Chains A and B, each alone.
Chain A
Amino acid sequence: MLLSALFNTSVTRSLVARSLVSRLQRTYSIGFFVKCSAVGFMMAFWFGFAPMICKAQENSEIDFGLQIRPILAEHCFHCHGPDPAHREADLRLDEEESAKTLRDGKRAIAASDPNASEILHRIASDDPDLVMPPPSARKTVTPAQRELLLKWIEQGARWGNQWSLNKPKIAPLPESAKDPWGKHPIDAWILQAMRDRGLEPAPPAPPEVLARRLSLDLVGLPPESHRVARFVEEIQQGRSVAIARYVDELLQSPSFGEHWARIWLDLARYADTKGYEKDLKRDLWPYRDWVIQALNDDMPYDRFTIEQLAGDLLDQPTTSQKIATAFHRATLSNDEGGTDDEEFRIAAVKDRVDTTLQVWMGLTAGCAKCHSHKYDPISMEDYYSFYAIWNQTEDADRYDDEPRMPVPSFEQQSQLASLQSERQRLTSQLDRAQLENQALVEQRWTLAKPTAVDSESHAALFIEEDSSVRAAADRPATDTYILEVKLPPGTYHALRIEALMAKATPEDPSPRLGLNSKDPNFVINSLEVLHGPTQARVGLKAKKVSFEQNGWPLTGAVDDDSKTGWAISPKQQQSHWGILELAQPLVVSEKVGDAEEKLVVRIVQSYGGHLMLHRVRIAFATDATVPLIVEELPAVEAIAKRSQELDKQIQSLRESIPKLPVMRELASASKRQTRLHRRGSFLDPGDALSPALPRLFDAEEAGVPDRLAAARWLVDPRNPLTPRVAVNRVWGQIFGRGIVETEEDFGSQGMLPTHPELLDWLAIEYRDTKHWSLKELLKTLVSTNTYQQAYVQDEQRKERDPRNLWMSYSPRFRLSAEVVRDQALEVAGLLSRKRGGAPVMPPQPEGLWRSTYSGAQWITSPGEDRFRRGIYTFWKRTTPYPSMEVFDATTREVCQIRRIATNTPLQALVTLNDPVYVEAAVGMAKRWMSSSDSQSDRIRTGFAQALCRPIEPDELERLMLLLSRAKEHFEASPDSAKALLSDIPFASEGEVRPSELAAWSMVTSAILNLDEMLMRP
C-alpha cells in the first residue's frame, strides 16, 4: 500500500523518526520539529520568493504576474509606478506601454532583446549614478531576480497583470493527481508541490488527534470523550464515513457559529464600546448575534456580504438585514469634549473604506488617502471616488450614536406587546368611564342660559347654542363681560365658570383659549354674581379649579383686590374650569321672566394686553355635596393610576431594549458633496468627485454606484480577489497560515501564494461549485489527506520544509485566546451553553476599568454568565479583557485580519493564577473525583477527557507525584485548601474534603497548563 510505503520511506531516514513510529501507533502524535505560528514571517519572503522560481530554471514560461511584477513592484514602482507625484523620468514600469516605449533611443524593456533593455543594464551597473534602484533606496536586485528578468525578456517579455487581479482559472491537474494520495484536487496540488521539493506526505493522524483537531478547528471546543470513543470505533468501520458524520455533526452544532463569528468579529472590529477617551458603552451585540446566526445558517458569502454592507438599501429590507449593516457602525466614535464631530465622522468613513477593501479584496488602500498608491493601481482620485459611496450615511459621530434601531429580544417584544395591549384596554376603559362620569356630572350642573350679553366696551359678544358666550376679538385691551342669565327654579349652591376654546370662524380662523393670539392666557380679575331686583352681590368662595397659574389663583377673582385674579399660563392649550361655592344658597323661584329673579354675571378682565376669555360658559349646581368633577370618582382614579404605572413600565422596558447603530442613507436632498482631501487632510479639500468603483477589474457600470452597487461589485463573479481572499482566510484558520501568508495583502507588496493553482481552484470551487457556502468549503478542506496528516518531523522535513510551507506534515499552532479559555471551562464541565444576548462580565481583576472620563464599571456577572463562551465577554476597547489580551486578542479598534500568536510568561501567569482558570481547575477536579475511586483511574480518565488521548506511564507517574505532594501541603494546612476554594461556590457542593479537592485541583491545573493543551494538534 502506498501510504505505508511513504511512511516507511520517511521513517527509515532517521533514527529519531523510527522511534516515533511506535509512538504514533501507540498513541497519538508524531513529529519532530517546528512550530511555525503565524508570527511575523511576512517580511522574509516578499522579495522574490516564489514557488515558480525553480520552474523558471527549467526554462518553462515565466509568469509575469507571479514572478516578474513582484520584482518590479519591489524595486521600481516607488519611482516608476502609479503615483504621479513621485514618478521619475516620466517612466512607468507598471504599464506595458510606458515600459516598452522608445525614449531617447532607449527602451526600458525591449521584448526578446536583452541587450537593448535598459533595465538590465541599470540593475547590474556599478556606477552609483546609473545603478537602479539608486543607492539611496538601499535596495538591490538579487542575481536570481536579474536572471529571471533576463529570461523573461528573452522569452518575449509578455506582459500581464498583478497576479491577484487575473481571473482565477482552473489549471490542468498535476502529475501527482494520479497518485492515490492526490485523488482530491487539493491533495494533488499539495502533493505536487511537496514532490517538487523532494518531500512526501506524513501518515494520517491517529483518530484521537483528528477528533480533537476537527472539533477545535470547526467549533472551537474540545470534543466530549464519549464522542471521541465513538469516533475511534466508527473509524475502524470506515474512515471517510466516520469523518464525514463527525464533521457534519460539528457543522450542525450552534457552537460552530460562535467560533467562526469570533474570527469575523476581528475583521468587523466589533466591540461593546465606542472607543477613544470616553469609550462609552454601545449596544452592538445584536449584530454579533446576527453574525453567529448567519454562520450557523450557512448564509452564502455573497448574501452575507451584501446584507452587512448595504442591507438597508435592499428592497423592503427585513429587520435582520438592517441589523447586518451594523458591521460598518462598529467604527470608533469620539465623545471627548471639544471634538469636531466632522473630523471623526470622516475618520469613521475612511475606516469603512479601508476595512471594506481589506476584508473582501485584501487590498490596502490606506496609502491612497494621502497620495496615489505607489505599488497598486489605486490613485487618490480612485480612493476618494470610492469614499464618496460611503460618505452618504446619516451617522455623524454624534454622542447619541444615531441612527439607531431598537432591537427587542423575543421576550421583550412579547412583554411590550402585552403591556401595550393592557394599556390600550385601560385607555378605552378610561375613556368610557370618563364619558359616563361626564354625563353623570353634567346632570348635576345646570347651564345658565344667557339671555342678554353686553360688555363695558360694547364690543360684540355672541350667544352660542351650547349656552356659551363668545367674545369678538376686536375690542379694547381690557373689558368686562356682562352676562344676564336665566336658571330654572331651584336652590343653587355652587357656580362653575368654564373657559372654553373658541371655535374657528371665518373672521377669526384660529381657535384659541384667550383673545391674545400670541398669548392665549386670560386673567379674570373679578367674578361677580348679582341677583334680584337690588342686584345684590352673591358671595363666592373658590372651591376647586382645573389649573391655577403660579401667583394667579382662583381666589384672586373673588377677593376685593382688583390687581389679583385667576390665570392659567402655561396651560393655554386646553379648556379650564373653576368651581366656586355660593356664600348663601341662591333661590330661584318660578316667577319666570320676573325682574325679581334677574341674574347677572360680571367678568372683569382688567389686566390688559387682551388677556381675556374668548368663550365662557356659566353653570350652577343645586347640590354641592355630590362630587362635581370627574377625577374624584374612584373608578376613574384607579384606572388612571394603573395606566400611569403601565406607562412607566413601558417606558423602562423601551429603555432596556438595545438600540443598535445601523447604516442609513441620507435623503437625496441632503447628500454630501465629496471632495478629495489633499494630503489626507479634511481641512484641505480639493476637487469635487462623483462616487465611483475602483477600476480593478472589468465590471458592468450602471449609473452612479451606491453602497449596494459596491457590495454587489465585491461579490461579482468577475471580481478576481473576493473569492481568493475569502478561501485564503479560511485556509489560514484551518492550516495556521494562508496560501498567501499575508492574508491582509493581496497587492503587489503582499507575499505570493505558495500554491497559486490551488488557490485558484479553491476560489472557483467556493464561488461556483459550493455557491459561497462556508460549511461546504470547510467540509471539503477537512476531508483532504492534507488536512488529515499527522504532525511529523524528521531531518528531511526539517531541512526542506522547516516552516511547513509545503504542508508535508500537519501544522501545530497555539489556540486563540477565546478557545484557550472556552476549552478550560469546557473540560471543567462549567461552560454555559447559553447563546446570544447582552455581553457578560466574567471575573477580572479589580480596578482595571479606569477611563479618564467615564464612570463605567465592571460588575462580575452572576450565575452561568460567569461561564459563557469568550465571544460573549464584554469588549472594552481601551481596556480589553486582560487574559484574552495576553493571548493576543486585540483592542478591536481597527480591522484585524489575523492575530499574530506569541508565547510569553504572562500567558503562563494567566493559566496558572487567573481565578477563572483556578475555578476551571477546581471544576475539573470535581469531575475527575466523581469518575472513580482509584486515583490513577481518575487521572487516566480525566487526562483522556482533556487531551483526547491515553496518558503515558511516565506522565501518569509525574502527575501522581504532584498529587501526593499537593495533598501533603493541603492536609498540613487545611486553611490553605479553604482559601483556594473560598470564592468558588460549587466547591462546597457534595461531600468532598477541601484538602483533597484542593490537591486534585493542582493536578488539573497542571493539565490546563500543558503545551499540548494550548496547541491545536
Chain B
Amino acid sequence: MNHSDSVFEAAAKVLRRRWFMRDCSVGLAGLAATELLRGEQMAHSASFFGGEFSGDSTGEKSGPLAPKPPHFPGKVKRVVYMFQAGAPSQLELYDPKPELAKRNGQLPPAELLKGYRAAFINPNSALLGPKFTFAPKGQCGMELSEVLPQIGEIADDIVLIRTMQTDAVNHAPAQMMMNTGSQQFGRPSLGSWSLYGLGSEASDLPGFVVLTSAKGTSGGASNYGSGFLPTTYAGIPFRSTGDPMLYLSNPKGVDGQTQRESIDTISKLNQLALEQIGDPEIASRIQSYELAYKLQTSAPELMDLGTESKETLELYGVKDPKEASFARNCLLARRLLQRGVRFVQLFHEVWDQHGDLTNGVRNNAGATDRPSAALVKDLKRLGMLEDTLVIWGGEFGRTPMVQGGNDGRDHHNRSYSVWMAGGGLKKGLVWGKTDELGFNPIENPVHVHDLNATILHLLGFDHTRLTFRFQGRDYRLTDVHGNLIQGVLA
C-alpha cells in the first residue's frame, strides 16, 4: 500500500505542523490554565484516537484524544466500572445486619422514618431480615455474603464502602446521578470527563467503551454520553452480537481489498483537496478514514476470545465465548484495558428485586460474582491492577423494610455498598458503618460526589479544577460538592 502510505504521510505532515498550537498559543501565553489549552486542542479534532500523532519531536500533542497529563501524577491510568444497575441489595450482599434478622416482621422505629422517601412502599412497613448469612473473608476478615464466594477471595484486594448515599430514589435519575453527578440531563459522564482530562492511549480503539449485558440501562445513552462536551468524548457502546460497533462491517459483498481501494481513492481525492485548500480539517478527515479502516480490524479482533486460554475462560466463567454475558464482558473489559482504552464501563441491569428477592439476588450473584472477582485477579496477575481502578456498584440500595409479602425490598438511597480495587487504594478495608438496621450511615458517610471526587483524584485530577466552561459557568463532575474519601486512599 505504497500509495496510501504516502497519502497518510502527507496528511500527518500537515497535522504535525500544528500551526495553531505553535503560532496561536502565543496569544494565550499569559494564561496558565491548562483548561484553556485543552479547549484549543479540542478545536482540532485531528486525531480521534489518542496516541496516533502525539509526541513528535517538538513534543506537540494533537487531537482531542491525544494523551494529556493530569493535574498531578495519577495513581491509576485506566478505569473499569462494573455498573450494577437496578440497585443490588446491600443487605443480602455486603452489609451484614444480625439485628435486622432479629427484628424481622417488626415495624421500624418511627424516628428513622422521618422524611423518608421510598419509591413504592409505605415506609412504615415491617422490617425484613437478611436472606443470606455472612462470614469473615480473607486476612482482613471482611464480612461478605455467602452468595459472593469469589469476591470473598479478593477481600484483601478491595475497599468496601458500606455508606454510599445518593439524592435520587428512582432508577433513571439515580443512574444519571452516579454517572454524571447530576440528576439533570445534559451533563458529561464520568468516562467522558476522564477522557477529556487524560485523552486516550488506545491507538486504534475508542477511548471510552461501554459494554452492556442483561437489559439496557434506565438512564439510556446519557449514562455514558458526553453531555455538553464534544461527542468525541462520549462512550462508544460495543454490541455483543453482530458487529461490535455500529456500521463496522463493510457493506455486504465488499471485500477488504475493495474497501481499501475505496478508502485510498477517498483519501487521494481528499489529499488533492488538502493540497489545494490547505484546511487542516481535511487532513483530519484523511486520518479518520484510515483509523476507521484500522478499527474494522481491531474491533472484531478484540471481540474474538479465541486467543484466550481455557483457564482464562474458566476463571471468568465464560461458558460460550460467543454468547453475550456479564462474564464475557468482564473478559472483554480486560482486553480493552490492555489495548490502552482509558475507561471501560459495563452495565448490567438486573438488580431491581422488589419481589423474589432471595432467588433474584442468588441468581444475579451467581452470574456476577465469579467474573467480577476474576477481573480483579486477572488484572493483578498481569500486573495491571496497580495502575487500574476497578469499581463495582449500583445507583442506590434497598430498604431494610419489606415490599410485598416477605421477599422483596424497595429503593433505599440513604446507604448502600460499592467496592473498589486498584492503584492508590487501601486493601482489605471496610469503609463506613451503617446503623444496626441498615438505614443510615453512622460513620463516614460517602456521597456520590465524594466517590466521584476520589475517582478523579486517583486519575490525577483535582476534581474542583477539571472543568469545562459551558453556558457561562465552569462545570465539573462534582458540581459544587465532593470531598476526597481520604480514609480509603493508600
**Which chain A residues numbered 288 to 331 have a C-beta less than 8 Å away from chain B?**
none
> Is A966's CB under 8 angstroms from B258's CB?
yes
Contact A1002 B254 (CB under 8 A): yes
Let me know if B185 and A275 touch, CB within 8 A. Answer: yes
User: A339 in the interface, Cβ–Cβ < 8 Å?
Assistant: yes
| Residue numbers in B under 8 Å from A910 (CB-CB) | 246-247
Q: Does B194 contact A (CB under 8 A)?
A: no
- Asked if A756 is an interface residue, CB under 8 A from chain B, the answer is no
**Most chain A CB neighbours (cut-off 10 Å) among B243, B281, B291, B349:** B281
- Residue among B20, B169, B255, B266 with max Cβ neighbours from chain A (10 Å): B266
CA–CA, A339 and B469, complex, Å = 32
Could you tell me if B119 and A337 are in contact, using CB atoms closer than 8 angstroms? yes
**A915–B286 Cα gap in the complex (Å)?**
22
Q: How far is the CA of A367 from the CA of B242 in the complex (A)?
A: 45
List the A residue with the shortest CB-CB distance to B39.
A43
Question: At the interface, yes or no: B253 with Cβ under 8 Å from chain A?
Answer: yes
Residues on A with C-beta less than 8 A from B263 are: 912
Contact indicator per residue, chain A 726-751, by CB within 8 Å of chain B (1) or not (0): 00000000000000001011011110
Residues of A within 8 A of B49 (CB): 905
Q: Please determine whether B30 and A142 come into contact, CB atoms closer than 8 angstroms.
A: yes
Whether B292 pairs with A878 at a CB distance below 8 angstroms is no
Is A962 part of the contact surface with B, judged by Cβ < 8 Å?
A: yes
Q: Which of B30, B242, B258, B277 contacts A32 (CB 8 A)?
A: B277
Alpha-carbon gap, A143 to B254, bound state (A): 61
- Nearest chain A CB to B217's CB is how many angstroms away? 7
Which listed residue, B28, B253, B255, B471, touches A744 by the CB 8 Å rule? Answer: B471
Interface residue range, chain B = 35 or more
Contacts A336-B170, A1009-B266 given; indicate if A878 touches B215 (C-beta within 8 A): no
CA distance A34 to B36 in the complex (A): 19
Interface with A: B76-84, B268-276, B329-337, which one? B268-276
Could you say which of B119, B220, B230, B276 contacts A851, with CB atoms under 8 Å apart? B220
Instruction: Flag if A969 contacts B255 (CB, 8 Å).
Output: yes
Residues of A within 8 A of B253 (CB): 970, 973, 975-982, 998
User: Are B231 and A888 closer than 8 Å at their CB atoms?
Assistant: yes
Question: Which chain A residues lie closer than 8 Å to B292 at the CB level?
Answer: 905-906, 908-909, 912
Is the CB–CB distance between B281 and A35 below 8 Å? yes
Expressed in whole angstroms, the minimum distance between the Cβ of B478 and any Cβ of chain A is 14
Q: In the bound complex, do residue A962 and residue B265 qualify as a contact, i.e. CB atoms below 8 Å apart? A: yes
Is A332 in the interface zone, CB < 8 Å from B? yes
Of the stretches A165-173, A259-267, A416-424, A953-961, the one at the interface is A953-961
CA distance A275 to B218 in the complex (A): 10
Chain B residues with CB under 8 A of A793:
277-279
B23 touches A277 (CB 8 A): no
| Docked-complex contact A32 and B172, CB < 8 angstroms | no
Given contacts A23-B276, A976-B254, contact A338 B120 (CB under 8 A): yes
* Set of chain A residues within 8 Å of B216, measured between Cβ atoms: 850-852, 878
Task: Indicate if the CB atoms of A745 and B276 lie closer than 8 Å.
Answer: no
Of all chain A residues, the one with the shortest Cβ separation from B215 is A852
CA distance A883 to B246 in the complex (A): 9
* Residue in chain B with minimal CB distance to A27: B276
Within 8 A of B (CB), among A886-921: 886, 888, 891, 893-894, 896, 900, 902-910, 912-915, 918
Q: Are A802 and B24 in contact (CB under 8 A)?
A: yes
**A952→B258 contact, CB < 8 A:** no
Closest residue of chain A to B469, judged by CB? A43
Checking B261, B266, B288, B295 against A965 with a beta-carbon cut-off of 8 angstroms, the contacting residue is B261
How many pairs of A and B residues are in contact by the CB < 8 Å rule? 314
Q: Are A1011 and B252 in contact (CB under 8 A)?
A: no
Q: Report if A1012 contacts B (CB, 8 A).
A: yes
Residue A700 lies at the interface, judged by CB distance under 8 Å to chain B: no
* Interface bits B213-228 vs A (CB < 8 Å: 1, else 0): 0011111111001000
B284 near A: Cβ within 8 Å?
yes
- Among the interface residues A747, A799, A918, which one has the most CB atoms of the partner chain B within 10 A? A918
Interface pair B288/A905, CB less than 8 Å apart: yes
CA distance A1011 to B289 in the complex (A): 10
Taking chain A's interface residues, is the majority helix, strand, or loop, or is none over half, making it mixed? loop
Q: Report if A364-B471 is in contact (Cβ < 8 Å); known contacts: A847-B239, A1010-B266.
A: yes
Task: Give, as a whole number of angstroms, the nearest-CB distance from A597 to chain B.
Answer: 72
Residue contact A802 to B277, C-beta cutoff 8 Å: no
Query: Given A912-B259, A913-B250, A1006-B265, do A952 and B170 touch, yes or no (CB 8 Å)?
Result: no
Write the chain A residue with the least CB distance to B117: A340
**Alpha-carbon separation in the docked complex, A35 to B19 (Å):** 12
CA distance A273 to B256 in the complex (A): 39
Residue ID in chain B nearest A40 by CB atoms:
B42
**A958 contacts B185, CB within 8 Å?**
no
Residue B378 is within 8 A (CB to CB) of chain A in the complex:
no
Question: How long is the Cα–Cα vector from A918 to B254 in the complex, in angstroms?
Answer: 11
Q: Which residues of B contact A364 (CB under 8 A)?
A: 471-473
Complex: A961 Cα to B23 Cα, angstroms: 40
B107 at the interface (CB under 8 A from A): no
B236 contacts across to A, CB distance below 8 A: 906
Task: Contact check, B266 vs A982: say whether CB atoms are below 8 A apart.
Answer: no
Cα distance A35–B20 in the bound complex, in angstroms:
11
A910 to B248, CA, bound (A): 8
Chain B 441-460, CB-CB to A under 8 Å as 1, else 0, gives 00000000000000000000
Roughly how many angstroms separate A337 CA and B268 CA in the complex, as a whole number? 55
- On whether the beta carbons of A900 and B230 are closer than 8 Å, the reply is yes
* A276 lies within 8 A of chain B by Cβ: yes
What is the distance, in angstroms, from B197's C-beta to the closest C-beta of chain A?
Answer: 14
Cβ A748 vs Cβ B472 within 8 A: yes
- Distance between B450 CB and nearest chain A CB, rounded to angstroms: 18
Any B CB within 8 A of the CB of A37: yes
User: Is B186's beta carbon under 8 Å from chain A?
Assistant: yes
Q: In whole angstroms, how far apart are the Cα atoms of A902 and B24 in the complex?
A: 21
> In the complex, which of the residues A275, A799, A998 contacts B23, with contact meaning CB atoms closer than 8 Å?
A799
Residues of B within 8 A of A980 (CB): 251-254
Give min CB distance, B408 to chain A, whole Å.
13
**CB-defined contacts of A336 to chain B, threshold 8 Å:** 170-172, 218
CA distance A683 to B115 in the complex (A): 9
Chain A residues near B153 (CB, 8 Å)? Answer: none
CA–CA, A909 to B170, complex, Å?
A: 37
Q: Cβ of A36: which chain B residues have Cβ within 8 Å of it?
A: 43
Is A877 in contact with chain B by the CB < 8 A criterion?
Answer: yes
- How many Å lie between the Cα of A982 and that of B43 in the bound state? 41
Q: Which residues of B contact A904 (CB under 8 A)?
A: 45, 48, 231-232, 288
Residues of B within 8 A of A915 (CB): 251
Minimal Cβ-Cβ distance residue in B for A911? B247
Give bound CA distance, A998 to B254, whole Å: 9
Beyond A847-B239, A905-B288, whether A277 also contacts B172 by CB under 8 A is yes
- Flag if B469 contacts A962 (CB, 8 Å): no
A2 on the B face (CB < 8 A): no
Q: Is B40 an interface residue (CB 8 A)?
A: yes
- Shortest CB-to-CB span from A311 to chain B, Å, is 26
Partner of B279, one of A23, A34, A907: A34
Q: Give the contacting residue for B39; candidates A41, A334, A885, A962; CB below 8 A.
A: A41
Across the A-B interface, the 3 shortest Cβ-Cβ residue pairs = A878-B220, A338-B119, A749-B472
Offer 15 A-B interface pairs, CB within 8 angstroms, sorted by A.
Answer: A42-B39, A43-B36, A748-B472, A802-B23, A802-B24, A845-B247, A903-B281, A903-B288, A906-B206, A912-B259, A965-B258, A969-B255, A1011-B282, A1011-B286, A1012-B270
**Other 4 A-B pairs with CB < 8 A, given A337-B120, A683-B115:** A33-B278, A906-B236, A980-B252, A1006-B269
